[in-house]
Amino acid sequence: MAKLSVNINKIATIRNARGGNNPDILQVARDCEKFGADGITVHPRPDERHIRYQDVRDLKPILTTEFNIEGYPQKSFIDLVLEVRPTQVTLVPDSPEQLTSNHGWDTQKNYVFLTEIVKEFKEKGIRTSIFVDPVPQMIELSAKLGADRVELYTEPYASAYPKGKEMAAQPFVDAAQVAHNCGLGLNAGHDLSLENLRYLIERIPFIDEVSIGHALICDALYLGLNETIKQYKDCCK
């Protein structure tokens, strides 16, 4: 069964829209765990437009499940991760002005850069994952540079799913097998939803973890957070 890590960035976006502490990020994280989430994901960006660096520091001591911090490895991000020491860090090739993640790493072009960063995190006992497109070479190089896992960028799967789920999933099935053959753990994330998650898990039953934020929080507006997490967990079986 794939683990479900809930990305709470969107909760922070709502809070920041009005200032103050409503909704309470820490309480939402506790509730996600209480309702069955296997982990909490945050993606602090330099402008702190949703999750703030202080949120990351405040979350660490209260979480009882896995903590995953995503982001581009600039110095301030690296320093934060080394300070907090989460269960996992996911390296994402976001530029500061990006609205959201929209592609994986070119691990060939950034091989030396990523190798040095991965080594630093692993020396501190932090599991390290590389955000990649479903391209075999990028996955193979992720293994060679020392990563523990890769996270497949699944937006193309989600976009193509309504037109034909088999064709949408096949590149990711192939990429997952490459990761498996390389001895890498496998995560997946971006635009996964109650509509398309179950089929991906059926096709790739050895996915270790899915990280889901936007769709899950949107569903929670209609279903409630407790019921939403239950339904996503059911898709992960």
Active site residue 83: no
Task: For 185-233, write each residue's pLDDT tens digit.
Answer: 999 999 999 999 999 999 999 999 999 999 999 999 999 999 999 999 9
Helical residues (DSSP H) of the chain, grouped into ranges: 9-18, 25-34, 53-59, 75-84, 111-123, 136-144, 155-160, 165-181, 197-203, 214-223, 225-235
Domain residue limits at 23:
3-235
Q: How far apart are CA 82 and CA 109, in angstroms?
A: 25
Average pLDDT over residues 30-34: 98
Active site residue 190: yes
Residues paired with 127 in a beta bridge: 88
Average pLDDT over residues 89-112: 84
For residue 80, pLDDT beyond 70: yes
Task: For 139-198, write each residue's pLDDT tens digit.
Answer: 999 999 999 999 999 999 999 999 999 999 999 999 999 999 999 999 999 999 999 999
CATH of the domain at 145: 3.20.20.70
For 5-30, the three-class secondary structure string (H helix, E strand, C coil) is EEECHHHHHHHHHHCCCCCCHHHHHH
- pLDDT for residue 198: 98
- Start-to-end CA distance of the chain, whole Å, equals 5
pTM of the model: 0.95
Choice among 33, 50, 140, 190 that is catalytic: 190
Choice among 70, 140, 151, 209 that is catalytic: 70
Cis peptide before 23 (omega within 30 of 0): yes
3-state secondary structure of 223: helix
Choice among 43, 140, 151, 209 that is catalytic: 43
Active site residue 180: no
pLDDT band at residue 96 using 50, 70 and 90 as cut-offs: low
Number of structural domains, the chain?
Answer: 1
For residue 103, pLDDT beyond 90: no
